[in-house]
Amino acid sequence: MEEEERAAQSAKLQELIRRGTPRDLQEANKLMKVMAGYDTRHKTNYRAKAAEEVSKIQQKARILEEMLQGYKPGDEVKEGDVMEASDRLWAFRGFS
């Protein structure tokens, strides 16, 4: 993730310098400070972001496990059941 962000920042920096307007150069200066580690206010905390994503996946796995425990061998899974599972997982993400 960090490499992708640095590549995007580098491309943006090149574009700002290429345009060369005073405003673009000010923004380029700010971006260089971020890239050099001088300004850490806009730096992404990748550990926290990864931990948050893992937590979301674990919660979804718990929901799926609860739903699967309700099924016995030989039970049929109908289309509505799949939609219900999808709705519950989307509700967890806050889209519902």
Residues 32 and 54 in one domain: no
**81-95 burial: b if 16+ Cβ within 10 Å, else e:** eeeeeeeebeeeeee
pLDDT in tens, 84-93: 666 666 666 5
* Residue 21 pLDDT > 50: yes
Contact 46, 1 (CB under 8 A): yes
In a domain, 41, yes or no: no
Let me know if 13 is exposed, middle or buried by CB neighbors in 10 A (0-12, 13-18, 19+). Answer: middle
The mean pLDDT of 76-88, rounded to a whole number, is: 66
In a domain, 52, yes or no: yes
Which range of residues forms the domain containing residue 88? 46-93
Residue owning tokens 């972001």: 49
Other CB atoms within 10 A of residue 8 CB:
10
User: How much is the pLDDT for 25?
Assistant: 93
State the total domains in the chain.
2
Residues 58 and 89 in one domain: yes
User: How much is the pLDDT for 50?
Assistant: 86
